[in-house]
Structure 1
Amino acid sequence: MMKRNIVIVLMVTGLFWSCQNDDDQSPQPPEFGIAGETLNTMSTYEQTVFNGGSNGDINVYNPMDKTLLLQSFKNGKDDSEGFWTIRINGVDIENQKLPYALTGVEGTITWVDESVKNLQAQCAAPDVLCFYSGVGVDEVKITIDSVDDSVITGKFEGKLYHITVNPSVIRDTDDMVEIVKGAFTIKFQTK
């Protein structure tokens, strides 16, 4: 009888502990994608383009000019609802000592979300393009942590400024979003 009570207590304790931990765990991020906390909300967009996309450049590393355009979409299909873009310029990711912090114009981050239309009235017009963007010159910090088996991982943070395009480009330095806890894991191809 004593053994049976101990087994029941252990099972109940294990079940209680398991349920207690479920409440504290954050949702599991996708295997491949880009995520960052902005406007007090975590924006996690899963990578769905593995073959270069319609223009052949998305998530494709070009070793000749050392560029890589990392991109993931909010709806998993296209850029209509939002996307993350991390552009890496002039960095030989295949032969770089890691971790490597991108400097100057080696890295830019762009974030678009349909909620931007609510932040700026002019962005609701169909012929106006709006997004937030930051360059690695005192605005964003991008670090490549690993490049292994055609998968690049890293982290980012910084300030992205509102850009409006129609027909000229306007960079609003009074409208900025702060990005924290940014991370990326993207599978890429090499040209």
Structure 2
Amino acid sequence: MKYSITIVLILIFMSCASEDEPEATDRGTYISGTVDSKVENYQQLNFENVNTSNTFFSKSKETWLQAYENKEETSTGGHWRIRIHDLNILKASLPYSDWSTTSASIAWDNNLTDKDNRCGGIDAGCEFIGSTEKGLKLIIKSVTDNYIEGEFSGRFYLTGVGFSRFRDEDTYVNVSGGNFRIKFSLDDN
């Protein structure tokens, strides 16, 4: 009986100890955030012959970053898109979070917008967009060897893009724990 109890106690102790150990994962390059309690973790994709895919444009000081939910078909599933304006990310003092003279926006879409009549039709669409001008918290933590990393959180409002331009202050998602690590190319043109 003592032998059985000892084995059970050892097994319980071992199972508790293994739960405390962190699981090692390599997340690679991604943009991720918790959208209304659901983690939306999308991977970086680069498209051949497309100069807007994960690029820092040094002359205009624009940075365009993106990640997609579905690597096989980018027109379905969702995406994250980060746009940083008027900031030379290679020379910025890091961590960077003072958006008083620069701006940035982050868009998220996972086809929730398809349910809104304003978002359908030719050359119309919608995304949930957060902006540093409207309270988005964005911190660029590091820019090293053509990798940019940062964190973000805030309220993202349903926004019409294409020909149907609008911003619906009553339709939004809350994003927390956002972070990204994207490899970018440099465009000197």
In the alignment, what sits opposite 1:4? none
Could you tell me which residue of structure 2 aligns to residue 59 of structure 1?
Answer: 54
Q: Which of 112, 115, 118 is the aligned partner of 1:115?
A: 112
Given the superposition, is the C-alpha separation of residues 26 and 162 from structure 1 closer, same or farther in structure 2, using an over 3 Å criterion?
farther
CA RMSD of aligned residues (A): 3.0
Structure 1 unaligned segments of length 5 or more: list them: 1-7
Matched residue, 1:159? 155
- Write the deviation string for residues 97-153 of structure 1: whole angstroms up to 9, x where unpaired: 1101151552111111123324x2544656631111122113212111001111110
1:169 match: 165
**Residue number among 64, 67, 74 corresponding to 1:69 in the alignment:** 64
- Residue 106 of structure 1 corresponds to which residue in structure 2? 103
Count of residues in Structure 1 that have an aligned counterpart in Structure 2: 182
Instruction: Output aligned runs, 1:1-191, within 5 Å.
Output: 12=11, 15-17=14-16, 19-21=18-20, 28=25, 30-49=27-46, 53-77=48-72, 78-104=74-100, 105-118=102-115, 120-123=116-119, 128-165=124-161, 167-191=163-187
Which runs of no fewer than 5 residues in structure 2 stay unpaired? 1-6
Q: Deviations over 1:131-183 (max 9, x none)?
A: 11122113212111001111110001111110124633121111111111110
Q: Distance in 1 between matches of 2:147 and 2:163?
A: 37
More helix by share: 1
Residues 139 and 87 of structure 1: CA distance in aligned 2, closer, same or farther (over 3 Å) = same
Normalised to the residue count of structure 1, the TM-score between the two structures is 0.80
Shift of 1:26: 7.8
Q: 2:146, 2:162 → 1: CA distance?
A: 37
Q: Is the 8 A contact 1:86 1:109 kept in 2?
A: yes
Residue 19 of structure 2 aligns with an amino acid whose one-letter code is Q
Cα distance in 2, alignment partners of residues 162 and 47 from structure 1: 23
Structure-1 residue corresponding to 2:3: none
Distance 2:26 2:114 in 1: 26
Q: CA separation in 1, counterparts of 2:133 and 2:62?
A: 18
- Provide the rounded CA distance (Å) in 2 between the counterparts of 1:87 and 1:102: 15
Separation in 1, partners of 2:120, 2:24? 31
Secondary structure class of the residue paired with 1:92: coil
